[in-house]
């Protein structure tokens, strides 16, 4: 009798599991609104982002150049050249040291994605996620592992919140096209 009850219970459970698994093949998103806005964001801006962009900022003690090439398969490559120098006092006179290239310079490869979400539990916004490692001898170092606030992209400008270097307002405007650094 106990064996019959166990088999009956097992049959009922098996039937319940198979019925529960029957349903829509559509994924159930944890945040349907964020998913929908992400899809809209990608549809609107991916065609503009794909391509090559550059940003350069030169100051008295720092020179920064970065070029990013975004591909439509979600990968990207980049080149960064970053130099600094210090203002020192020699014999009572202030002078700059020679330019030094930082280790954060070189080429890198990674993935990119546009998303609408709140990565750090804050307010939801549009983000450009970049994950990339340096190539060659620095391949154990990350060039990017971040979500940058995404403003917009059009035929000429990629407007993102700067990660390493940015303008006074906290944003960096990358320009379309491939160029060499001026330094």
Taking 80 as the threshold, does the pLDDT of residue 4 lie above it?
no
Label residue 122 by pLDDT band (50, 70, 90): confident
CATH node for 31-176: 2.40.128.370
Residue-wise burial string across 84-120, b where 16 or more C-beta atoms lie within 10 A, e elsewhere: eeeeeeeeeeeeeeeeeeeebbbebebebebbbbeee
Among the listed residues 86, 80, 72, 142, the one whose alpha carbon sits nearest the alpha carbon of residue 114: 72
Distance of CA 82 to the CA centre of its chain: 19
Q: In this structure, what are the phi and psi dihedrals at residue 18, rounded to the nearest 5 degrees? A: -70, -35
Q: At 19, is the pLDDT very low, low, confident or very high (cuts 50, 70, 90)?
A: very low
Average pLDDT, the chain: 89
Indicate the pLDDT class of residue 48, thresholds 50, 70 and 90. Answer: very high
Give the least confident one: 32-46, 59-73, 119-133.
Answer: 119-133
CA distance 31 to 117: 9
Q: What is the value of pTM for the model shown?
A: 0.81
pLDDT in tens, 162-182: 888 888 899 999 999 999 999
Q: Looking at the predicted structure, is the pLDDT value of residue 160 above 90? A: yes
Structure tokens at 34: 């964020």
Whole-number Cα distances in Å, 108 to 10, 39, 76, 101: 55, 27, 8, 16
Q: Which of 131, 79, 140, 137 is nearest to 105 (CA)?
A: 79
* 8 Å CB contact between 175 and 51: no
């Amino acid at each position: 009798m106990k064996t019959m009850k166990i088999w009956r219970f097992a049959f009922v459970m098996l039937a319940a599991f198979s019925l529960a698994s029957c349903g829509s093949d559509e994924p159930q998103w944890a945040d349907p609104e964020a998913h929908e806005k992400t899809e809209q964001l990608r549809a609107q801006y991916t065609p503009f982002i794909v391509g090559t962009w550059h940003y350069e900022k030169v100051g008295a003690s720092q020179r920064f150049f970065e070029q990013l090439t975004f591909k439509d398969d979600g990968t990207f490559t980049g080149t960064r050249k970053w130099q600094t120098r210090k203002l020192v006092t020699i014999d009572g006179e202030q002078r700059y040291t020679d330019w030094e290239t930082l280790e954060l310079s070189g080429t890198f490869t990674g993935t990119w994605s546009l998303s609408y979400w709140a990565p750090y539990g804050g307010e939801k916004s549009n983000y450009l996620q970049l994950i990339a490692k340096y190539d060659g001898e620095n391949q154990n170092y990350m060039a990017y592992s971040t979500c940058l606030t995404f403003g917009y992209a059009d035929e000429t400008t990629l407007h993102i919140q700067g990660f390493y270097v940015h303008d006074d307002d906290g944003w960096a405007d990358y320009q379309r096209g491939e160029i060499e650094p001026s330094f």
